[in-house]
């Protein structure tokens, strides 16, 4: 069995108040601890992925804030998630922080690593 805390989990990227910590926790599953300040829009960082959307599924829990999740190539299709909600985000999404947000999610390791590699190469 494997466990980790936010502080024990390595930082994968950070900047402009955003932070992603991630660690493989067994099998093909990675846990991520994410912080986005209000106004963070991951759209530009996801450009170049299929349809400019995150192609990785995520299961998790929103600890703090409100998050708008665009679910299509256009910005008219979206759902809003609020503090205290458990979620599943299928492939094909772009997060935007409506308030300061913190969440924890679980994702397939290889798929998530490809997304993180893409995002970190955009800098």
Distances (CA, A) of 51 to 8, 30, 55, 58, 97: 34, 24, 9, 18, 20
Is it the case that residue 23 has pLDDT exceeding 60?
yes
Structure tokens belonging to residue 43: 């759209």
The residue-averaged pLDDT of 118-123 equals 85
Mean pLDDT for the chain? 94
- According to the model, what pLDDT value does residue 74 have? 60
The residue-averaged pLDDT of 116-123 equals 88
Whether 6 is in a domain gets the answer no
Whether 110 is in a domain gets the answer yes
Strand partners, 47: 49
CATH number for the domain including 106? 2.60.120.10
pLDDT tens digits, residue range 64-85? 999 999 987 566 789 999 999 9
pTM of the model: 0.92
Is it the case that residue 109 has pLDDT exceeding 60?
yes
Whether 95 is in a domain gets the answer yes
Structure tokens belonging to residue 15: 């900047």
């Amino acid at each position: 069995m494997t466990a980790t805390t936010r502080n024990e989990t390595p930082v994968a990227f950070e900047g402009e108040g955003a932070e992603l910590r991630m660690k493989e926790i067994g099998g093909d599953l990675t846990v991520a601890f994410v912080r986005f300040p209000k106004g963070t829009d991951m759209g530009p960082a996801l450009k170049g992925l299929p349809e400019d959307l995150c192609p990785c599924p995520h299961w998790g829990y929103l600890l703090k804030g409100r998050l708008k999740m665009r679910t299509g190539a256009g910005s008219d299709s979206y759902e809003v998630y609020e503090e205290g909600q458990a979620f599943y985000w299928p492939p094909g999404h772009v997060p935007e922080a409506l308030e300061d947000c913190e969440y924890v999610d679980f994702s397939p390791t290889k798929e998530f690593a490809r997304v993180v590699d893409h995002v970190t190469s955009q800098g």
